[in-house]
């Protein structure tokens, strides 16, 4: 009896060992590994290609071009990357009805392919650098079906975005024809450059229904007390010399005196990295912020074309023509910063900032943004814990720089917030819990 039990135990042990061996072999086989491996989905790829996009756009437009055009290109790239990622992951509603991709595809490969395709389409002069970066990033992703599927779907997402933007009014021959008069914009010193990129005010929005959907009312009338208050404030606080600005106020004006789009992209990269957002969440942050910013630029330029309000440098120097007894002319007055070549109302900087802060607040569910924003002008970085702090600093900065009236700044911030609210009401909504 005992011998029989021993034989049965030995036989059972042999069978168990054989089964374990089979399972081990199968688990280690290439076919099984391919079935059970998780497609590559490192969000660092989105941050890297956002940085590549920033450099590519600056190289093609000029790093200090005083226009909101750079924001538009970031909107295009971010929307394509977003669709490439969420089309595979399924976490959020795709932008403008993008098709679904295979769930087995690599969203990382899709993001890289989408960004590369959009940038190469619009900036073919940068092909060498873009192709080299593309090859480098693809080499980091394991070869296999997931990578191949991801690249294919990412390119399709990019092509879909490119098709959507055909005939959208880019570089249309929009002319600024309002004749000079008191209150009307005209080219400003020292360069006396014409209105830059007026077509932005007629560009088809990415999210809104029309460029004028959130156009605010007109600026204060020249004869009004509000106009005199605006002019006298900027004349004092925005003067290049003799201003009572504090050192901190001057530093604030200078801090936001460079490329706002570069500052925003750097802040988003830092935030998504520090907070360890996944690839779908990261794609959503960039897409929502940059498409909102794109429509903020369009809204601001629409108002600039519509209202054609003169800049402070013109208003102060020609205050004896405005018909307001509370203002006095100073023909020698100069602002702290050079005046960009487009009208005052609305402020592009505050409209974009308002749109981005409202969009991020909606995504995060709180006005506590925790943003680190760098400045290439001052070489410093500022931490903004809350949205209203950033909005207020931006409004003040443009007045203290001497290049905007406060009413143009405040109206821009409010228009931007309306854009941000619209963005998250109609786009980028969650579809199911994140994986």
Per-residue pLDDT of the chain (435 residues; tens, 9 = 90+): 444 444 444 444 443 443 333 333 333 433 333 334 578 899 999 999 999 999 999 999 986 788 899 999 999 999 999 999 999 999 999 999 878 999 999 999 999 999 999 999 999 999 999 999 999 999 999 999 999 999 999 999 999 999 999 999 999 999 999 999 999 999 999 999 999 999 999 999 999 999 999 999 999 999 999 999 999 999 999 999 999 999 999 999 999 999 999 999 999 999 999 999 999 999 999 999 999 999 999 999 999 999 999 999 999 999 999 999 999 999 999 999 999 999 999 999 999 999 999 999 999 999 999 999 999 999 999 999 999 999 999 999 999 999 999 999 999 999 999 999 999 999 999 996 544
The whole-number pLDDT of residue 342 equals: 97
Quote the CA–CA distance of 155 and 112 in Å, as a whole number.
9
260-272 b/e with 16+ CB inside 10 Å = b? bbbbbbbbbbbbb
At the second CATH level, the architecture of 198-426 is Orthogonal Bundle (1.10)
The whole-number pLDDT of residue 67 equals: 87
Whether the CB-CB separation of 299 and 203 falls below 8 Å is answered with no
The whole-number pLDDT of residue 306 equals: 97
The whole-number pLDDT of residue 432 equals: 66
3-state secondary structure of 318: coil
Residue that the structure tokens 């520090």 belong to:
274
Between the alpha carbon of residue 212 and those of residues 75, 303, 310, 344, the distances in Å are 19, 8, 20, 17
Whether the CB-CB separation of 219 and 406 falls below 8 Å is answered with no
- Angle between helices 348-364 and 387-400 in degrees, nearest 10: 170
Quote the CA–CA distance of 314 and 227 in Å, as a whole number.
14
Q: Tell me the pTM.
A: 0.90
368-400 b/e with 16+ CB inside 10 Å = b? ebbbebbbebbeeebebebbebbbbbbbbbbbb
Residue (of 371, 255, 290) closest to 76 by Cα position: 290
Tell me the H-state helices in 141-193.
145-164
Q: How buried is 280 (Cβ within 10 angstroms: 0-12 exposed, 13-18 middle, 19+ buried)?
A: buried
**Token reading at 37:** 């491996």
Tell me the H-state helices in 213-278.
225-237, 247-255, 260-274
Quote the CA–CA distance of 133 and 130 in Å, as a whole number.
5
Residue extent(s) of CATH 1.10.606.20 domains in the chain: 198-426
Residue that the structure tokens 């209105």 belong to:
195
Quote the CA–CA distance of 130 and 283 in Å, as a whole number.
20
Residue (of 396, 366, 371, 369) closest to 382 by Cα position: 371
Whether the CB-CB separation of 275 and 300 falls below 8 Å is answered with no
Quote the CA–CA distance of 52 and 120 in Å, as a whole number.
12
């Amino acid at each position: 009896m005992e011998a029989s039990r021993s034989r049965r135990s030995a036989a059972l042990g042999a069978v168990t060992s054989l089964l374990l061996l089979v399972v081990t072999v199968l688990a280690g086989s290439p076919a099984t590994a391919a079935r059970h491996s998780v497609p590559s989905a490192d969000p660092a790829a989105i941050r890297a290609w956002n940085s590549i996009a920033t450099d590519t756009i600056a190289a093609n437009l000029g790093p200090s071009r005083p226009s909101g055009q750079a924001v538009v290109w970031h909107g295009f790239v971010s929307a394509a990357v977003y669709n490439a990622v969420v089309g595979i992951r399924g976490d959020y509603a795709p932008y403008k009805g993008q098709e679904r991709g295979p769930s087995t595809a690599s969203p990382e490969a899709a993001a890289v392919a989408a960004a590369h395709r959009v940038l190469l389409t619009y900036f073919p002069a940068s092909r060498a650098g873009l192709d080299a970066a593309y090859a480098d990033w693809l080499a980091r992703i394991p070869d296999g079906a997931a990578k191949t599927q991801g690249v294919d779907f990412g390119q399709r997402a990019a092509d879909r975005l490119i098709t959507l933007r055909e005939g959208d009014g880019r570089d249309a021959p929009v002319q600024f024809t309002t004749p000079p008069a008191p209150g009307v914009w005209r080219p400003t010193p020292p360069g006396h450059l014409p209105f830059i990129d007026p077509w932005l005010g007629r560009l088809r929005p990415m999210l809104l229904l029309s460029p004028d959907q959130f156009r605010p009312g007109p600026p204060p009338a020249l004869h009004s007390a509000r106009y005199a208050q605006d002019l006298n404030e900027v004349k004092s606080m925005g003067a290049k010399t003799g201003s009572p600005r504090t050192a901190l106020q001057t530093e604030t004006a200078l801090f936001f005196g460079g490329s706002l789009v570069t500052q925003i992209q750097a802040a988003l990269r830092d935030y998504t990295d520090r907070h360890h957002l996944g690839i779908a969440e990261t794609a959503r942050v960039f897409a929502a912020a940059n498409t909102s910013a794109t429509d903020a630029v369009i809204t601001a330029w629409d108002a600039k074309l519509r209202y054609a309000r003169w800049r402070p440098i013109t208003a102060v120097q020609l205050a004896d023509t405005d018909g307001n007894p509370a203002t006095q002319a100073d023909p020698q007055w100069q602002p702290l910063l050079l005046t960009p070549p487009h009208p005052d109302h609305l402020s592009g900087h505050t409209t974009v900032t308002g749109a981005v802060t409202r969009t991020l607040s909606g995504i995060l569910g709180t006005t506590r943004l925790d943003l680190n924003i760098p400045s290439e002008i001052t070489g410093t970085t500022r931490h903004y814990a809350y949205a209203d702090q950033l909005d207020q600093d931006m409004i003040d900065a443009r007045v203290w720089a001497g290049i905007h009236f406060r009413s143009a700044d405040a109206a821009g911030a409010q228009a931007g917030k309306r854009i941000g609210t619209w963005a998250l009401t109609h786009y980028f909504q969650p579809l199911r819990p994140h994986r």
